[in-house]
Structure 1
Amino acid sequence: MDSSKLLIALFVFQVFFPYHMSIQAAPENSDLFREYIGAEFNNVKFTDVPIDSNVEFHFILSFAIDYDSTSGSPSPTNGKFNVFWDSDNLSPSQVSSIKSTHSNVKVALSLGGDSVGDSYAYFDPSSVDSWVSNAVSSLTDIIQEYHLDGIDIDYEHFNANPDTFAECIGKLVKTLKNNGVISFASIAPFDDDDVQSHYKALWQSYGDLIDYVNFQFYAYDQGTTVSQFINYFNTQSSNYNGGKVLASFISDGSGGLTPENGFFTACSRLKSENKLHGIFVWSADDSKRNGFRYEKQSQALLAISH
């Protein structure tokens, strides 16, 4: 074969069998462990939580909310975020300290959450542009003050349609990343029609900017079995196609598949199929009561050669 034909043959081979195809297409396990902290004001500290040096560890401060924080009945502020987590115990200096002590730790903040005061916390923008402008400004201030690395989106109640939500959140994440303010972003949906319609719209338009899907598998019924959990996991992996969907449990045992009933069995099965992109827990505040035993077990599983 002369050299020109050889080059053509090589070119054809590369077109039909690109070198990186198998690498990109294969799902992969990860050693990522994430934990929400600070929503329940029970004096939990970063230093209370065991941190395995062989995992990537994200604390997620809960929550920053675009509501005013001073009045007895908080009201929406159109993207002007305030700190609603236990900032006495989870302060900027404590963030700096835990990150300097543990090089594998990053710290994020979560937006929204279920409630503020005694009421639901609504996503309630006046307009896309005004909300994004306010959110970029207020969150940049908080993120820089607290030395944070990323954000998580956990709105669960909406006074806006899915397209408006997608544009607001998508543009916020894009701007914060482009400005170098954050290095990662996640979303935290659960299996509810209204919730899913909003997050799937965001995923469709801006999924390439979302690094992790903290799917709230603990929002499924208490008593979920291992096989049900695997089915739920596969369903949500197709809903957020191409996303790193993390396995999750709630440490007060109130929903989903619990560690006592086979959560780690399910994770081991996902791991054997190269689908365990990480584990997250709601929350450190509740885990404090049981000595963080399942945080240790989660990290031990993730640390085994992934």
Structure 2
Amino acid sequence: MDSSKLSISLLIFHLLSFNIWIIPGNSSKLFREYIGAENSNVRFSDVPINAHVDFHFILSFAIDYTNTSSPLATNGDFLVYWDTNNLDPHQILAIKSKNPNVKVAMSLAGDTVNDQFVYFNPTSVSSWVANAVRSITQIVKKYNLDGIDIDYEHFHADPYTFAECIGRLLFYLKQNKIVSFTSIAPYEDDSVQPHYLVLWQKFGHLIDYVNFQFYAYPKGTTVNQFLQYFDIQSSNYKGGKILVSFGTDGSGGLSPKNGFFDACSRLNGEGKLHGIFIWSADDSKKANFQYEKQSQEFLASA
């Protein structure tokens, strides 16, 4: 990474007014799916793709840990941890060539690696950002990626340090057209949400989508409870495109069997539905992606 170029970009970053918001497209026909975290041999081509929606695959995960049996934090030096045997650069080119409505992003961090928590653990803001810019740019170019998602869930740093590091990273990636869209993946937890709220308050203008993990709410969530949760998070991330979600891994929240699409219908009728995402293709494979099909059919007809 050219250090002078990075310094100039960060100077521009500090001079910009953060009252100017980048507004993505207004389409509610956005479907997103995490893929590759569980080494289940799932391929892009396995997942049904409806030509009438905007489809984002989100590779899971790139992690700033050493790629060993006992991984250690590396201060922003990211490595690929998704299933590269089935989700490699050639397959990304192939799926995007075959389906013009498909884009591919990567998600950073996630919950665990080799059964150990993945912590956000910067040595300093400047060193973490420099390492992250360099390593992420290399991965984006190698894999021909379009976007980036932030999914840190454990922290050895305060919310303001997290916000400054991630904000500077997103600014550089967008300013230099390395990625065309960004997202964050928070959930309701006292040790997690405060980090994302500070990030949103300072740098929400750089974030196109909020992949809120509604499946982190308790099992048995009702439609009315789900809609209340949605309104709360819409207030927390005011002005943001909050995507609704469910998991196919047996996690909590409102499931498709218990009224998820009823909730989507109500949100759509109120002009609040910005898209749907699923965790994850790896888990959906065993059920032949029935809910991926249903979600996309719903969005295509919305």
TM-score, length-scaled by structure 2 = 0.91
Is 1:41 the counterpart of 2:39? The answer is yes
SS at match of 1:193: coil
Give the one of 52, 56, 64 matched to 1:58.
56
1:287 matched to 2:280? no
Q: Secondary structure at the match of 2:109?
A: strand
Give the equivalent residue in structure 1 for 2:4: none
- Give the aligned CA root-mean-square deviation in angstroms: 1.3
The aligned counterpart of 1:255 is 252
Q: CA deviation at 1:29?
A: 5.8
Equivalent position to 1:68, from 66, 69, 93:
66
- d(CA) in 2 for partners of 1:214, 1:228: 18
User: Which of these two proteins has the greater Rg computed from alpha carbons?
Assistant: 1
| Pairing of 1:1-306 with structure 2 (within 5 A) | 30-69=28-67, 71-304=68-301, 306=302
Distance 1:29 1:39 in 2: 28
Whole-Å separation in 2 of the counterparts to 1:281 and 1:198: 23
5+ residue gaps, structure 1, are 1-26
Give 1:123 shift: 0.3
* Shift, 1:28, TM fit: 6.0
Contact 1:247–1:278 (CA under 8 A) maintained in structure 2: yes
Q: Give structure 2 stretches of 5+ with no counterpart.
A: 1-24
- In 1: Cα distance, 2:266 partner to 2:293 partner: 19
Identity %: 65
- The letter for the 2-side match of 1:90 is L
Q: Secondary structure at the match of 2:264?
A: helix
The C-alpha deviation readout for 1:54-83, integer Å capped at 9, x for no partner, is: 0000000000000010x2210000000000
**1:37 is aligned with what amino acid?**
I
Counterparts of 2:69 and 2:246 in 1: how far apart (Å)? Answer: 32
Inter-CA distance 266–28: structure 2 relative to 1 (3 Å threshold) = farther
TM-score (norm. length: structure 1): 0.90
Residues 266-294 of structure 1, C-alpha deviation per residue, up to 9 Å, x if partnerless? 11111011110000000000000111111
Letter in 2 for 1:147: N
Which contiguous aligned blocks of 4+ residues in structure 1 show a shift greater than 3 angstroms?
Answer: none
1:5 is matched with none
